[in-house]
Homo-oligomer: A and B are copies of this chain.
Amino acid sequence: MSKSEVVELPVLQGGDVVPCCPPITAGELSQADAEKMAGMFKALSDPVRLRLFSKIASHPGGEACVCDIADVGVSQPTVSHHLKKLREAGLLTSERRGTWVYYQVAPSVVAAMAAMLDLRG
C-alpha cells in the first residue's frame, strides 16, 4: 500500500509541510477545511492512539512493528482498530515486511497540524 523506501529520520527539512489548511488565525475556517482539520485532531483525541503514536514516533527511524507497541493496556484487536484510525487520518503509513507489519509516522502531516496551531499568523 505504501512505498518501499523507509524514511530515514522523522526530521523535517525546510518546507516539508503539506499545505493543508491555513493557520487558525488567518480568518474564518471554511466548512470543508474545518472538517478536514477536525478529522486530524480527532485521530489524536484518544489516549490509546496518542500512546501508540508516541511509541512509533519515538522509535528509531520513526517506525515500529505492531508487536513492539501493542502493549498499551487494551486488546490486540483494539490496537489494530486504533492504528487503522491513525492511518486513515494520514498520520501513519503501514507496510508489511514478511510476517510483521510496520507503521511509520507521516512527518509532513504532523508538521501541517503544528503549523495550523501557529498563533504567529
Binding site for B on A (CB under 8 A): 10-12, 24-29, 31, 34-35, 37-38, 41-42, 44-51, 53-55, 57-58, 62, 73, 105, 107, 110-111, 113-114, 117-121
Copies in the complex: 2
Q: Return A28 CB to nearest CB of chain B, in Å.
A: 6
Task: Given A24-B50, A38-B50, output 19 extra A-B contacts at Cβ < 8 Å.
Answer: A10-B25, A11-B119, A11-B120, A12-B120, A24-B57, A26-B58, A27-B54, A29-B50, A31-B47, A31-B51, A34-B47, A34-B54, A38-B46, A41-B45, A41-B50, A42-B46, A105-B119, A114-B117, A114-B118
**Smallest distance from the beta carbon of A67 to chain B beta carbons, Å?**
15
